[in-house]
Structure 1
Amino acid sequence: MSREHSLSEEPTEFTVRARVEARRIDHYLHSRFPDYSRSVFQKVIDAGAVLVNGQAVKASYRVQQEDVIRVWLPVLDHDVPQAEAIPLRFVFEDEAFAVVDKPPGMVVHPAKGNWSGTLVNALQHHLDQLSSVSGEHRPGIVHRLDRDTSGLILVAKADGAHWALAKQFEERTIHKQYLAIVSGDPGRDSDYVEKLIGPHPTHREKMAIRRPEDGGKVASTFYRVVERFRGYSLILCEPKTGRTHQIRVHMAHIGCPIVADKLYSGRDRLTLGDLLGPDAPDADRVLIARQALHAHHLKLTHPRTGAPMELTSPLPADMEAVLDALRTHRPLAGPGR
Structure 2
Amino acid sequence: MVRFRAWNQVRAFCLRCSADREVARVAGFSTKTRHGLQPPESSSKELRPTKDLTFPGSLRMEDLSREELLNVIKAAVVEQEGSLVTINKPQGLPVTGKPGDLTLLTVLPDLSQSLGLRDQELQVVRAPAKDCSGLVLLSSCPQTTSHLHKFFTHSRRVQRPTALYCAVTDGIPAASEGKIQAALKREHINGVELVVPVKPPSRKQVLEGVKNTLSYFRVIATGSGCALVQLQPLTVFLDQLQVHMTLQLCPVLGDHTYSSRVSTVLGQRFLLPAENIKPSKQVMSEALLRCLLLTSSQAAQLPLHLHLQSLFLPGPRPQDAPNEFRAPLPPYFSRTLQCLGLHQ
Identity %: 23
Give 1:314's aligned residue. Answer: 328
Query: How much is the aligned-residue C-alpha RMSD, in angstroms?
Result: 3.5
- 1:286 paired with 2:298, answer yes
Residues 89-104 of structure 1 mapped to structure 2, 5 A cutoff:
89-104=76-91
Give 2:167's aligned residue. Answer: 180
Look up the equivalent residue of 1:167 and give its one-letter code.
K
- 1:121 paired with 2:106, answer yes
Which of 156, 167, 183 is the aligned partner of 2:139? 156
Distance verdict in 2 for CA 1:282–1:231, change over 3 Å: closer
Look up the equivalent residue of 1:87 and give its one-letter code.
V
TM-score by length of 2: 0.61
Deviations 1:119-146 (A, max 9, x none): 12333222134999xxx9xx61223422
2-structure distance, mates of 1:321, 1:230: 14
1:154 offset after TM fit, Å?
Answer: 1.1
Deviations 1:167-195 (A, max 9, x none): 11111256100011111111111010011
Distance verdict in 2 for CA 1:281–1:272, change over 3 Å: farther
Whether contact under 8 Å (2:161, 2:233) holds in the other structure is no
Whether contact under 8 Å (2:259, 2:282) holds in the other structure is no
List runs of 5+ in structure 2 lacking aligned partners.
1-5, 7-65, 261-279
- 1:86 paired with 2:108, answer no
| Structure with more helix by fraction | 2
Residues 267-282 of structure 1 mapped to structure 2, 5 A cutoff:
268=281, 273=286, 275-276=288-289
| Larger RCO (CA under 8 A, 6+ residues apart) | 2
2-structure distance, mates of 1:141, 1:130: 17
Which secondary structure state, in structure 1, belongs to the residue aligned with residue 125 of structure 2? coil
Deviations 1:163-221 (A, max 9, x none): 11101111125610001111111111101001112113526432121231443212110
1-structure distance, mates of 2:184, 2:119: 31
2-structure distance, mates of 1:130, 1:296: 30
Distance verdict in 2 for CA 1:226–1:270, change over 3 Å: farther
Whether contact under 8 Å (1:93, 1:99) holds in the other structure is yes
Give 1:208's aligned residue. Answer: 196
List runs of 5+ in structure 1 lacking aligned partners.
1-17, 19-81
Which of 233, 238, 246 is the aligned partner of 1:244? 238
Deviations 1:273-303 (A, max 9, x none): 552569x98645736622110001111137x
Give 2:183's aligned residue. Answer: 196
Residues 1-337 of structure 1 mapped to structure 2, 5 A cutoff:
85-88=70-73, 89-111=76-98, 115-116=101-102, 118-128=103-113, 129=117, 140-172=123-155, 175-200=162-187, 202=189, 204-211=192-199, 212-213=201-202, 214=205, 215-266=209-260, 268=281, 273=286, 275-276=288-289, 283=295, 286=298, 289-301=302-314, 308-327=322-341
Whether contact under 8 Å (1:269, 1:290) holds in the other structure is no
Whether contact under 8 Å (1:181, 1:259) holds in the other structure is yes
1-structure distance, mates of 2:193, 2:170: 22
1:263 offset after TM fit, Å?
Answer: 0.9
Look up the equivalent residue of 2:219 and give its one-letter code.
V
